Amino acid sequence: MPDTKIRAWPPRTFMARLSPPTAAALLRLGTEQRLPTGRILMREGEHGSYVALIRRGVVKVTAEMPDGRPALLSIRVAGDLVGEMGALNQLPRSATVTMCGPGTVRLIQVRDFAPFLTSHPPAAVALAATVGERLRWSNRRRIDFTSYPVKTRLARILTELADFHGLRSREGALEIGIRLTQPELATLCGAAEISVHKALRDMRRSHLVSSRYGRIIVWDLSGLRDRADAAP
């Protein structure tokens, strides 16, 4: 029996936009799998006939750059849908999706997902809203890349990560619940790794954040927001 228990999904995810009956109907589709850290859920360039709903855990969405290095495009969490564009359009996957830690995903064949959208128009509207928000996020990143210095772009990325994935510690700080390397932060910011290294070092000296082995802790979210809101 599929687990259709209604839960509180993270805000602004696809599942959070659905009514409880619609969410329950979606959770009756497909099959659920538990996946380990590092498991590739979808691979760039491959054709896929399914979409994946993240039930628990976090995934990274990456694409290969011309020099062969992976570029971190985005992060998806429980309640997010991945692979819908390639599957619905019958095009090759545009990115690779990898588990950041152990988690659970629900794999839904497009032959079931497409009729679900047809029979549940609010779900189709929610999917359009989700895709639109992702496009706005991408456009905002492009503007940031051309208008703001690296330290401001990094502050914006870290503020967003703390807002959506921050875990409150006993000391009152927010630990970003996703381990990110400096090369990954650099691709998110559209900057050279050495520039991100310098910006992080400056933030540590200002007691805004601390970082070690991919673990990032935000000590002064208000101060980080001030840097993120700095004029270009």
Give me the residues of the chain with pLDDT under 70, please.
1-7, 230-232
Assign residue 213 a region: left if phi > 0, alpha if psi is -120 to 50, beta otherwise? left
Domain annotation covers residue 3 = no
Structural domain total, the chain? 2
Which domain covers residue 178, as residue numbers?
Answer: 149-228
Q: Is residue 8 part of a domain?
A: no
Average pLDDT taken over every residue of the chain: 87
Backbone angles phi, psi at 144, to 5 degrees: -60, -40
Sign of CA dihedral 148, 154, 155, 156: positive
Whether residue 30 is found in the same domain as residue 127: yes
**For residue 10, is it within any domain?**
no
Q: Is 42 exposed, middle or buried (0-12, 13-18, 19+ CB in 10 A)?
A: buried
Residue 223: give its domain's CATH number: 1.10.10.10
Single out the residue in 143, 170, 192 at which a domain terminates: 143
Residue whose tokens read 């991100």: 196
Q: What is the pTM of this model?
A: 0.75
**CATH code, domain with 72:** 2.60.120.10
Please tell me whether residues 122 and 205 are part of one structural domain: no
Per-residue model confidence as pLDDT tens digits over 217-226: 999 999 999 9
